[in-house]
């Protein structure tokens, strides 16, 4: 990897550190981690021994903090592990992180968006943004399984993608939390669907872009699947009006017209106990088809 190796750090630190000792060890550890996520001659099999040496050379809290600080060209080691496709390093880092800081969460979301890596975005559980954390306690209390969201790119059409979405315990969650927020990554952006209670006490759904995504002009079709052969799928179309682009909340650019979301009312039948659009487990199945114009 470089002239620095795992032997450069002490596997067992002395009982008392001076500030200068901590600074020197921290610098060496950061150099090792930087090589691990950015060096072109990276050797995956070296991750384990080096991480073990680094972790035992600093207090646990100090090492965990180092992994989540923007200390490598303005980003965290976690970010570069995703961007440079270093799954071994990322897996090793995450063993020392019980909870993401806001900084590392945002950085990981940026990394997955930059690489259009929906699989890692999902496996790393990055699909809940701080704005919607208010509902996490209620959602955990409901004890539902994680929603299932998959993204597909068909053929050579670079401006199209499809997402299969399965929202667990849809009606129960809507009645208790009054909103369900899901995200997916495609075309270098984070797209979001928000199911919520409107001011008219009707259920609605909005389609938009999450923070840091580039504006886009999508034409989208959300199909909510009927669970019996006698009924038709619900179809909801989303498209910005002419000369407008869909943009994240707070995005500003005086040279273009933007809108923050596209919304539509849901069929009242979705609120009924015997709804034909949820399966026997209460899950709602939908397909989202998007074309960038």
**87-100 per-position pLDDT tens digit:** 999 999 999 999 99
- Model confidence pLDDT, tens digit, residues 41-55: 989 999 999 999 999
Token code pair at residue 199: 């001011």
pLDDT of 239 strictly over 80 = yes
> Given this model, what pLDDT does residue 274 score?
78
Q: Which fold has domain 130-292?
A: 2.60.210
**Per-residue pLDDT, 2:** 44
Mean pLDDT of all residues in 2-20: 55
| Predicted confidence (pLDDT) per residue in 243-262, tens digit | 999 999 999 998 999 999 99
Mean pLDDT of 127-151: 66
In sequence order, the 6+-apart residues with CB closer than 8 A to the CB of 257 are 243, 244, 245
Classify 263 as helix, strand or coil.
Answer: strand
Q: Poorest-confidence range of 13-22, 95-104, 172-181, 228-237?
A: 13-22
Question: Residue 23's pLDDT band (boundaries 50, 70, 90)?
Answer: confident
* Residue 225, C-beta contacts closer than 8 angstroms, at least 6 positions apart: 233, 277, 285, 286, 287
DSSP 77-132: HHHHHHHTT-HHHHHHHHTT-SS--HHHHHHHHHHHHHTT-HHHHHHTT----GGG
């Amino acid at each position: 990897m470089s002239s620095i190796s795992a032997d450069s750090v002490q596997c067992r630190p002395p009982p008392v550190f001076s500030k200068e000792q901590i600074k020197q060890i921290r610098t060496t550890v950061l150099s090792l981690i930087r090589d691990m996520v950015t060096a072109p001659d990276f050797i995956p099999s070296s991750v384990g021994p080096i991480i073990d040496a680094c972790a035992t050379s600093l207090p646990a809290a100090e090492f965990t903090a180092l992994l989540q600080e923007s200390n490598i060209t303005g980003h965290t080691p976690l970010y570069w592990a995703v961007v440079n496709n270093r799954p071994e390093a990322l897996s090793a880092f995450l063993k020392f992180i019980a909870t993401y800081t806001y900084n590392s969460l945002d950085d990981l979301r940026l990394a997955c968006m930059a690489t259009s890596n929906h699989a890692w975005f999902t496996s790393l559980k990055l699909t809940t943004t701080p704005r919607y954390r208010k509902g996490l306690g209620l959602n955990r209390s409901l004890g539902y399984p994680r929603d299932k969201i998959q993204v597909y790119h068909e053929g050579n059409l670079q401006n199209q993608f499809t997402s299969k979405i399965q929202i667990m315990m849809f009606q129960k969650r809507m009645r208790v939390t009054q909103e369900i927020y899901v995200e997916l990554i495609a075309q270098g952006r984070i797209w979001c669907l928000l199911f919520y209670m409107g001011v008219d006490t009707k259920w609605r759904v909005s389609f938009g872009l999450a923070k840091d995504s580039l504006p886009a002009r999508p034409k989208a079709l959300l199909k909510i699947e009927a669970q019996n052969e006698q009924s038709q799928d619900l179809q909801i179309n989303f498209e910005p009006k002419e000369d407008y682009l869909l943009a994240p909340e707070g995005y500003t650019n005086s040279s273009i017209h933007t809108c923050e979301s596209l919304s539509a009312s849901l069929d009242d039948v979705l609120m009924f106990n015997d709804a034909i659009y949820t399966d026997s487990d209460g899950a709602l199945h939908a397909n989202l088809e998007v074309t960038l114009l």
